[in-house]
Chains A and B, each alone.
Chain A
Amino acid sequence: MWALKDKYAIVGTGYTDYSKNSGTTVLNLATEACLNAANDAGLPPEEIDGLVSFQFNDSVPATSVAAAMGIPAARYAVDIAGGGNAANLVILSAIAAIEAGLAKHVLCYRAMNGRSGFRLGGGRAMQAHGITQFTAPFGWITYPQAMAMWCRRHMIKYGTTTDQLGAIAVTFRDNAVLNPRAMQRQPITLDDYRAARPIVDPFRMLDICLESDGACAVLVTSAARAKDLRHKPVYVMGGAYGGGANQGDDLFDCLRWADHSENYAAYIADDLWAGAGVGPEDVDVAEIYDCFTYSVVAQLEGLGFCRPGEGPDFVQGGRIARDGALPLNTHGGLLSEAYIHGLNHVVEAVDQLRGDAGARQIPEAEIALTTAGAMTCGSALVLRR
């Protein structure tokens, strides 16, 4: 279990414009976000000595970004093969590297032309290898098609309705309206949600996240070093990764998953809260991985904000709005800010804890939760100012 409470900190964040067509290369996006994160921290890029990223063959290696940044000595450069599940794992990996003495200042980034370039789940692989032999030949191919299967099981077991999910889409959009970074800033209503085009039952268009070109980055260092840098450090209270015995390759490798009404979150909750020394009731703001509306429900339940089956009720009545008891996805999330694969949730959590979130600031936010992942595996962090 996590044993480094408050010993590491996020000291800088950086990002590019989030768009449908960046007009530039993924390497340029990654380098821009990483340079911005170093500048934000007030750290000369030459002092960066580690980089960690995650990707699905849709990005550039950490070593390439190190070279583009002119880093003289990259001592730790790791590319995790993973999706949203890894968006908090990269930070845990950075911390592990620093703790081991491999590096001192480690950038974690995610960069992709996810709309104009390589669109996840839209591939045309007509040969189904490995696990996809048992999924793709049946036209079960895209991310929305994968997650809709889990959502349906929650509906079967607990009577969850699409209207209940709609509250998540509407709330997150309401937050994005106030976020200059957000790609979708037009308010929506529950009626808009109901009228959205059906994509794959039970999901409509507004249950599904954006596709984005862009990059973001966060800079991690020790708490001791953090004190010398520009901003008040955002400390990592706790973190966890997992998903139990049947993680497989996450996306479609779920035939052996016992109960699709719950996801990875149920498996990491105990480690996460015990390591951080706090519980769900202590969280002031949470940025929950929202590749789909439904994935928020499964994580709230799994992490203990409510009991299994209560998530759809939990998100009603303004509880997750900015002035509610548990403000969620104050940037608009993957649904309305951008799909930078969950690392943008960490950027937002840092904004909130520094008090830099402008019109969408949650007053006196002291403890934030970020999560990453939606299916068989995932990661989460508890952060504090």
Chain B
Amino acid sequence: MYNKPLPVPDADTKPFWNGCREGRLLVQCCTACGARRLPPERFCPHCHSADSTWQPVSGRGRIYSWIVVRHPVPDDVYGGDVPYVVALIDLAEGVRIASNLVACDVDAVTADMLVEVVFEAVTETVTLPKFRPV
């Protein structure tokens, strides 16, 4: 049974997680000023408009920063996963996302490494967007 933290979608984030379940990475986009934003929220922090749409993005980006988790917390949850990589990824469309880098030696990660999204269905209802080297 999957025992790691699961997202609890709310009024603002539900479209994002629904998109992941359908294999699409969606980013919120302000209808009024066009600014893309992640994490999702009701009001545009640039122009305060409450109108937005969800746009599919390429799923491609570059590693902005990363960590290698070697000490698992909690150990009974992550003990079998260490070492693992968490990265901040700058998507080509101009927003930043946090995720895991998979299918990559943890010691081979480099800044600006090109990556692409892969979807991992971790439960019947939750699919997480993860990234792998291109």
A126, closest chain B residue (CB): B5
Q: How far is the CA of A252 from the CA of B96 in the complex (A)?
A: 13
Write the chain A residue with the least CB distance to B13: A133
Return A220 CB to nearest CB of chain B, in Å: 35
A177, B73: Cα distance in complex, Å: 30
Q: Which residue of B has the minimal Cβ distance to A252?
A: B98
Report A97 CB to chain B, min CB distance, Å: 31
Q: Is A128 a contact partner of B67 (Cβ separation < 8 A)?
A: no
Shortest CB-to-CB span from A168 to chain B, Å, is 19
Chain B residues lying within 8 Å of A121, measured Cβ to Cβ, are 73
CB of B114 closer than 8 Å to a CB of A: no
B54 at the interface (CB under 8 A from A): no
* List of A residues within 8 angstroms of B34 by Cβ: none
**A200-B69, A255-B39, A255-B98 are contacts. A126–B3 as well, Cβ < 8 Å?**
yes
A133 partner, pick from B7, B65, B122, beta carbons under 8 A: B7
On whether the beta carbons of B65 and A156 are closer than 8 Å, the reply is yes
The A-contacting residues of B in range 58-79, CB under 8 angstroms, are 64-71, 73-74, 77-78
B84 touches A200 (CB 8 A): no
Interface residues of B in 84-134 (CB under 8 A from A): 84, 86, 88, 95-100, 111, 122, 126, 128, 130
Any chain A CB within 8 A of the CB of B56? no
The stretch of A60-68, A136-144, A272-280, A372-380 that contacts the partner chain = A136-144
Q: Which residues of A have CB within 8 Å of B4?
A: 126, 137, 139
The residues in B between 30 and 60 inclusive whose CB is less than 8 angstroms from any CB of A are 37-39, 45
Indicate if the CB atoms of A138 and B100 lie closer than 8 Å: yes
Q: When A and B form their complex, what is the total count of cross-chain residue pairs whose Cβ atoms lie within 8 Å?
A: 109
CA distance A150 to B86 in the complex (A): 12
The answer to whether A255 touches B97 (Cβ under 8 A) is yes
Contact B9 A133 (CB under 8 A): yes
- When distances are taken between beta carbons in the complex, the residues of chain B under 8 Å from A202 are 67
Residues of B within 8 Å of A152, CB to CB, are 65-67
- Contact at A133–B39, with CB atoms within 8 Å? yes
Interface flags for B1-29 (1: CB within 8 Å of A; 0: not) read 00111111110010001000000000000
Which residues of A have CB within 8 Å of B66? 149, 152
- Asked if A127 lies at the interface with its beta carbon under 8 angstroms from chain B, I say yes
User: A56 at interface (Cβ–Cβ under 8 A)?
Assistant: no
Report how far A325 CA is from B64 CA in the complex, Å.
35
Mark contacts of A147-183 with chain B using CB atoms, 8 A cut-off: 1 yes-contact digit, 0 otherwise.
0111011001000000000000000000000000000
What is the 8 Å Cβ interface bit string for chain A, positions 118-138, against chain B (1 contact, 0 not)?
A: 000110111111111111111
Residues facing B in A163-220 (CB within 8 A) are: 197-202
Of all chain A residues, the one with the shortest Cβ separation from B83 is A201
A39 at the interface (CB under 8 A from B): no
Question: Which of A122, A133, A245 is most buried by chain B, counting CB atoms within 10 A of its CB?
Answer: A133
Q: Which of A280-333 contact B (CB under 8 A)?
A: none
User: A residues within 8 A CB of B71?
Assistant: 197-200
Q: How far is the CA of A148 from the CA of B70 in the complex (A)?
A: 12
Pairwise interchain contact B73-A142, C-beta atoms closer than 8 A: yes
Report yes or no: A255 in contact with B69, Cβ–Cβ below 8 A. Answer: no
Asked if A260 is at the interface of the complex by the 8 Å CB criterion, the answer is: yes
- Taking a contact as CB atoms closer than 8 A, the residue among A141, A153, A197, A256 that contacts B5 in the complex is A141
A137 and B65 contact, Cβ closer than 8 Å, known pairs A122-B73, A200-B70, A200-B71: no
Can you sample 14 A-B contacts with CB below 8 Å?
Answer: A133-B17, A134-B7, A134-B38, A137-B5, A137-B7, A137-B122, A137-B126, A142-B73, A149-B88, A150-B65, A153-B64, A197-B71, A255-B97, A256-B45
* List of 8 A-B pairs having minimum Cβ-Cβ separation, nearest first: A133-B7, A201-B68, A136-B5, A153-B65, A148-B67, A156-B111, A199-B71, A140-B86
Chain A residues packing against B (C-beta within 8 Å): 121-122, 124-142, 145, 148-150, 152-153, 156, 197-202, 245, 252, 255-256, 260
Contacts from B to A (Cβ < 8 Å):
3-10, 13, 17, 37-39, 45, 64-71, 73-74, 77-78, 81, 84, 86, 88, 95-100, 111, 122, 126, 128, 130
Task: Given A128-B7, A200-B68, output 15 extra A-B contacts at Cβ < 8 Å.
Answer: A121-B73, A122-B73, A122-B74, A126-B6, A129-B8, A133-B7, A134-B98, A140-B67, A141-B73, A149-B86, A153-B65, A197-B71, A201-B68, A255-B39, A256-B45
